[in-house]
A and B are shown apart, each in its own frame.
Chain A
Amino acid sequence: AQSVTQLDSQVPVFEEAPVELRCNYSSSVSVYLFWYVQYPNQGLQLLLKYLSGSTLVKGINGFEAEFNKSQTSFHLRKPSVHISDTAEYFCAVSAQGGSEKLVFGKGTKLTVNP
C-alpha cells in the first residue's frame, strides 16, 4: 500500500516570494507522483507529474517539483508566487502496474498575501 504525507497543512506567503510545499511518500513498489491544485469551488487540476526520466519536473503556472528517491520526497516549488496561486495543493502517488488509482495526501492550503 501507499501513503502520502504533506507536512504543512497551511502555508502563508507574501506575493512574489518563493514557496516550497513538502510531500513525502511511502510505498513498497515503484510509484508515479503527482501534484494537483484545487482552486476555490473548482475541481482538481493536474499541475505536474513524474513518471520516469529526469527527476526535475516542470508543470503549469511556473511550478516545478523534484523527485528524490532516497528521501522518498516530491516537493513542489515556485520561485515567485502570485495572488492567483492561492489554492489547496494535493500531492498524490499511484503504484506502477496497478489500477493507477491515486492515493492523496491531506493537502496544503497556500495563501498568498499582498
Chain B
Amino acid sequence: GAGVSQTPSNKVTEKGKYVELRCDPISGHTALYWYRQSLGQGPEFLIYFQGTGAADDSGLPNDRFFAVRPEGSVSTLKIQRTERGDSAVYLCASSSYRGETQYFGPGTRLLVL
C-alpha cells in the first residue's frame, strides 16, 4: 500500500516568508508525528497528533511554528517569518496507534535564503 507522502519534496524560500509543508499519512493511521533533521544530526521531535488534536507539541521551537490536522488525516506544518536557521529536512511519520511502529515519509527539504 501507499506509504507516508510529503509535499513539496523541496522548498526554497526567502527569509521572512511564510511556508506550509504537507504530510499525507498512511490511510487509517491515527498517530502522526513531525520531526526536523538538520545537517549532520538525527531527527528532532516537533509535534505529535493523536487524531485531530495535538497531544504533545513540546518540540516546537517557538511560536513561529504551528501545525494542524483538522480532519485527523492530512497534516500541515506552518512556519511564519522563516529564518535561515529553519533550513532543514522536515520529516513526517505516522503509526496505527500511539506506541506502534512509526513509518516515515521521504521528507521536505526546506532552504531559507
Residues on A facing B (Cβ under 8 Å) = 4, 6, 32, 36, 41-46, 49, 90, 92, 98-107
Contact = CB atoms under 8 A, between A and B. Distances in A.
Contacts, number: 57
A25 to B, nearest CB: 12
B104 A45 contact: yes
A88 to B, nearest CB: 9
Interface of B: 3-4, 31, 33, 35, 40-45, 48, 55-56, 59, 91, 93, 95, 98-99, 101-107
A4 B43 CA distance: 12
A95 to B, nearest CB: 11
Nearest to B47: A101
B106 A106 contact: no
A103 B45 contact: yes
Contacts of B102: 46, 100, 102
A15 B95 CA distance: 35
Nearest to B6: A43
A41 B101 CA distance: 21
Given A99-B98, A100-B99, A42 B43 contact: no
Contacts of A42: 106
Contact of B40 (A6, A46, A100, A106): A106
Given A44-B104, A45-B104, A99-B98, A104 B56 contact: no
Given A42-B106, A43-B105, A49-B101, 14 more contacts: A6-B42, A36-B104, A41-B106, A44-B104, A45-B104, A46-B102, A46-B103, A99-B48, A100-B95, A100-B98, A101-B33, A101-B48, A102-B43, A104-B42
